Amino acid sequence: MLQHFFKAQHSRGFASTLQLGVVTIAAVATGLASPVYAASFFIPGDLIVSGSTYSGTASTVTVGQPLPGGGTAIANGTYPGVFNNEKVDSSFGITSPIFLQEITTSGMNVGTANIDPSVITTSFPSKSELALNLTPDGTGLTFMGYASPINQLDVSNSNTPGIIEPGNPVTTTPTY
């Protein structure tokens, strides 16, 4: 079941973390805060860092294609030039996979949990997602993302299903 939500590489091993603590990972992808997965994974006291890595290719965006937030692409999907498209589409972003990295207080990298992108993604290079919040009782870790596949354009600025803002220039399908 751990592999359903995480594709994890954890150097301390799963068995030892079972005895040390339980953290519930909740992904708010539908507007309701409900746990997506609960497991003994992270060790209490360690630092958890969220992140994302751009996974697009040259074909993710093609020069001349209309962009969902307006304008026409001036750069293909190759990193880092792809983000020159922000010049013509101020809503420009591309969904990307999420990872959580665990680091000890002495700075040792314990491991990285790759979050299943079929469940939740973030928007690269957006700064408004992936803030990690620990619940007051220390058993839950939450972060925000999107119910969208990777390499989708302008999702972070799309409308929410059922809540359409008529002035939004982004023509992407409404996304939770």
Q: Is residue 146 part of a domain?
A: yes
H helix runs in the chain, sequence order:
2-5, 14-20
Count up the domains in the chain and report the number.
Answer: 1
What backbone torsions phi and psi does residue 44 show, to the nearest 5 degrees? Answer: -55, 135
d(CA 128, CA 105): 26
Query: Is 78 inside a domain boundary?
Result: no
Residue 122 lies in a domain: yes
- Calpha distance 54→82 (Å, rounded): 10
Residue 16 lies in a domain: yes
Q: Is residue 160 part of a domain?
A: no
3-state secondary structure of 66: strand
Alpha-carbon dihedral 85, 74, 77, 86, rounded to 10 degrees:
0
pLDDT in tens, 93-144: 999 999 999 999 999 999 888 888 988 999 987 777 888 888 888 777 888 8
Mean pLDDT value across residues 150-173:
93
**Assigned domain for 29 exists:** yes
Give the mean model confidence (pLDDT) for residues 20-37.
41
Nearest-CA neighbor of 100 among 49, 138, 142?
49
Residue 164 included in any domain:
no
CA distance 3 to 46: 21
> What range defines the domain where residue 30 resides?
2-53+97-150
Indicate whether 8 belongs to any domain. Answer: yes
